[in-house]
A = this chain, B = another copy of it.
Amino acid sequence: MSHNEKTLKSEYFFKGYVIKLRKDNVLLENNTEATREVVEHPGGVAVLPLTDDNEVIFVKQFRYPYMKEILELPAGKLDGKGEDPFLCGKRELKEEVGATSDNYTPLGMLYPSPGFCDEIIHLYLAQDLSYGSQNLDEDEFLDVIKIPFDKAYEMVINNEIEDAKTQIAILKAKHILEK
* Contact partners of A115 in chain B: CB under 8 A: 18, 44, 63, 65, 77
**Is the pair A113, B116 in contact by a Cβ cutoff of 8 Å?**
no
Chain A interfacial residues counted at CB < 8 A: 69
**Is the pair B114, A119 in contact by a Cβ cutoff of 8 Å?**
no
Q: A129 on the interface (CB 8 Å rule)?
A: no
Stretch at the interface among A35-43, A50-58, A84-92, A96-104: A35-43
Q: How far is the CA of A19 from the CA of B113 in the complex (A)?
A: 12
Q: A171 on the interface (CB 8 Å rule)?
A: yes
Find residues 105-144 in chain A having any chain B CB closer than 8 Å to their own CB.
Answer: 108-121, 138-139, 141-143
A62 touches which of B3, B39, B65 (Cβ 8 Å): B3
* Contact partners of A21 in chain B: CB under 8 A: 13-14, 19, 21, 39
A111/B163 contact (C-beta < 8 A), A18-B116, A36-B64, A157-B175 known: yes
Please give the distance in Å from A95's CB to the nearest CB on chain B. 15
Q: A162 on the interface (CB 8 Å rule)?
A: yes
Q: Which residues of A contact B (CB under 8 A)?
A: 1-5, 13-14, 16-19, 21, 23-24, 26, 28-30, 32, 34-39, 41, 44, 60-66, 69-70, 72, 77, 108-121, 138-139, 141-143, 156-157, 159, 162-165, 167-168, 171-172, 175
